[in-house]
Amino acid sequence: MQPHACDQTTKPDLAPCVIVIFGASGDLTSRKLIPGLFSLFSQGKLPRPFAIVGCSRTEMDDQQFRMHLEKHCHDSVAAMDRWHDFAQHLFYKSVDYDLHHFRELAAYLEQLDQQRQTGGNRIFELAVPPALYPVIGDLLGQSGLADEKGPDRGWSRVIVEKPFGHDLESARRLDATLHNHFNEKQIYRIDHYLAKETVQNTLIFRFANTIFEPIWNRHYIDYVGIVAAEELGVGSRAGYYDQSGVIRDMFQNHMMQLLVLTAMEPPSRFDAYAVQDEKAKVIRSLREFDREAGSKLCLGQYQDGEINGKKVPGYRREQGVSADSRTPTFALMELYIDNWRWQDVPFYLVSGKRLPRKETRIVIQFKQVPHRLFHDVLGDTINANRLVIETYPEERIRLHFQTKSPGTAICLRSMTMDFAYHEHYQGKALDDYARVLLDCMAGDHMLFWRQDGIELSWAFLTPVLEECEKCSCEDNGLSYYPAGVWGPEPAGDTMRLLVDD
């Protein structure tokens, strides 16, 4: 098969710019942002000229900042050579979050623009705790750093990390603060799941082929499963996680994006606005969650257990988690989309920590054949077709179907057509953070959330969060599971449908 000769990651000529990272002494910067930018630099994909300015309260000079980041980017000798060139573009400015420091920062960036010819174009990445998003948004506005001189020259963009608020109200407040100084086109709300190749490929798979779309509906599909399982526990994020739980951490953003990509109608054009419109329609069509009307939700929390032969502590024994915490670390939701395409097809969304293995997949389970032609010879054993779009551990798509086993007797064999995403691609795949940063430089909103989607998602999940909150003061509602199994017992039957192929 002829591979298509286009490099999907090449962007049209990017304008020079300065990327300012707030929270530059932190985990996200050293683990994701700088390695992502370094890999873009190594592949010649960053604009020229460019500069990166790290900002946080910790006192450091440029040299110390470069040394602090170096170890995170050295995975080969070739990388060490390139690092030296890359590091010349890294700067550090210590800031406190007040107007005086932001005015100083504005003057510093003016100077850097002149030295480096970066054209007054700036990206501000908020890699700080969420409480600082509105504070920094305000300070950028008050110090004039949000102002744009023109759409092509002197632009200003802000990248906001998840979580976008803690609930509907706080999401609206954050948005209002940002909109005091930035217009919607200047705001980029990151969901790095969207930058994963197989997640994007879901749209291409559905809408660049004719054979799947006619059967992608209630007439042929029995149920859809979306699974984001993690082997790890809460780790060093206990402070944040114990306040948030699995619904805020995974469902409001990543799970909702996987759901809308699977269920949306084809957009009229492949541009950010048209795609976001279709996504919003799906969330708007979700059947309201109402326990009394039969909506199903299973919440769980992991206890002591064993994963890969190693004993691991239960959630309440993790450092930073209160000993009587009732925060859910597992949720299984059954959702329905009330529209022409999906009426009465259950969508099972599952995410949890300390499950047997890390796995992210979308399962499309097709219906049984309408007439059991082989019933007399085979009984009821014909497996229905199943399509699995897997993002982790490998990026691949598998289609399970039936064939005849060779021989005189009628015996079926379940076979799998298997497509490994990177098998026929020689280039270097972009890491998800590199991808979203590149898109922001190009002014492309396709992989980012739009505010209406965020608000619709919070509005839908509000009664679910209320259910979780109930669970934190009552003794029922939360089930427990030992680390290393597929969630609590009440979720068992559904989990077997979704993780066993």
Ligand X SMILES: NC(=O)c1ccc[n+]([C@@H]2O[C@H](COP(=O)([O-])OP(=O)(O)OC[C@H]3O[C@@H](n4cnc5c(N)ncnc54)[C@H](OP(=O)(O)O)[C@@H]3O)[C@@H](O)[C@H]2O)c1
Catalytic residues: 254
The answer to whether residue 447 forms part of the interface with ligand X (CB under 6 A) is: no
Our CB check for ligand X shows the closer of 174 and 364 to be 174
The one among 14, 79, 106, 132 contacting ligand X by CB under 6 A: 132
Q: Does residue 27 belong to the site contacting ligand X (CB under 6 A)?
A: yes
- Confirm or reject binding of residue 446 to ligand X (CB under 6 A): no
3-state secondary structure of 168: helix
- Taking CB atoms, the residue at the shortest distance from ligand X is 26
Question: For residues 55 and 94, is the Cβ–Cβ distance under 8 A?
Answer: yes
| Residue among 28, 106, 382, 459 that touches ligand X (CB under 6 A) | 28
Min separation Cβ 135 and ligand X, Å: 8
Give, in order, the Cα–Cα distances in Å from 26 to each of 10, 33, 34, 195.
29, 10, 11, 22
Q: Which of 144, 123, 126, 147 is nearest to 135 (CA)?
A: 126
Give the contact letters, 31-50, x = binds to ligand X (CB under 6 A), - = no.
-x------------------
Nearer to ligand X, 365 or 457 (CB): 457
Quickly tell me which residue has 């959330």 as its tokens. Answer: 449
Residue 161 binding ligand X, by CB under 6 A: yes
Helix, strand, coil abundance in the chain, percent, nearest 5: 40, 20, 40
Measured from the CB of residue 336, what is the shortest distance to ligand X in angstroms? Answer: 30
Under the binding rule (CB under 6 A), the answer on residue 58 touching ligand X is: yes
Q: Edge to edge, what strands does the sheet with 396-404 contain? A: 412-420, 396-404, 386-392, 359-366, 221-229, 347-352, 330-335, 296-303, 478-482
- Please name the helix (run of DSSP H) or strand (run of DSSP E) that holds residue 366, with its range, or none: strand 359-366
C-alpha distances in Å from residue 112, one per residue of 25, 120, 147, 485: 21, 9, 17, 54
58/383 with CB nearer ligand X:
58
Q: Which is nearer to ligand X, 8 or 58 (CB)?
A: 58
User: Under the criterion CB under 6 A, does residue 79 sit at the interface with ligand X?
Assistant: no
Which range in 21-29, 348-356, 400-408, 436-444 contacts ligand X by CB under 6 A? 21-29
Span interacting with ligand X, options 19-27, 61-69, 387-395, 399-407, rule CB under 6 A: 19-27
Task: Kindly report the number of other CB atoms within 10 A of residue 496's CB atom.
Answer: 10
Residue 383: exposure state from Cβ atoms within 10 A (0-12, 13-18, ≥19)? middle
Q: How would you classify the pairing of strands 50-56 and 90-94?
A: parallel
Q: Any contact of residue 494 with ligand X (CB under 6 A)?
A: no
Window contacting ligand X (CB under 6 A); options: 70-78, 84-92, 127-135, 400-408: 127-135
Q: Which residue has the tokens 């509005």?
A: 459
**Which residue lies nearer to ligand X by CB, 432 or 467?**
432
CB neighbour class for 472 (10 Å; exposed up to 12, middle 13-18, buried from 19): middle
Q: Is 252 in the site for ligand X (CB under 6 A)?
A: no
* Distance separating alpha carbons of residues 30 and 20, to the nearest angstrom: 14
3-state secondary structure of 105: helix
Applying CB under 6 A, which part among 38-46, 53-61, 253-261, 469-477 lies near ligand X? 53-61
**Given candidates 73, 87, 128, 199, which one binds ligand X under the rule CB under 6 A?**
128
Minimum CB distance to ligand X smaller for 128 or for 337: 128
Minimum gap (Å) between residue 25 Cβ and ligand X: 4
Q: In the complex with ligand X, which residue's Cβ is closer, 162 or 166?
A: 162
Instruction: Name the segment binding ligand X (CB under 6 A); options: 128-136, 206-214, 368-376, 415-423.
Output: 128-136
Tell me the CB-side half-sphere exposure of residue 425, using CA atoms within 13 A.
16
Q: Is 136 in the site for ligand X (CB under 6 A)?
A: no
Give the integer Cα–Cα distance in Å for 394 and 202. 15
Nearer to ligand X, 289 or 433 (CB): 433
* # chain residues binding ligand X, by CB under 6 A: 16
| Residue 484 · residue 354 · CB < 8 Å | yes
Report the residue from 16, 17, 25, 40 that binds ligand X according to the rule CB under 6 A: 25
- Closest by alpha carbon to 389, among 423, 420, 347? 420
- Residue 478, SS3 per DSSP: strand
Q: Does position 320 bind ligand X by CB under 6 A?
A: no
CB closer to ligand X out of 89 and 162: 162
Pairing of strands 347-352, 310-312: unpaired
Is position 26 an interface residue for ligand X (rule: CB under 6 A)? yes
Binding ligand X by CB under 6 A: which of 122, 162, 326, 354? 162
Shortest CB 2 distance to ligand X, Å: 38
Binding site for ligand X (CB under 6 A): 23, 25-28, 32, 56-58, 127-130, 132, 161-162
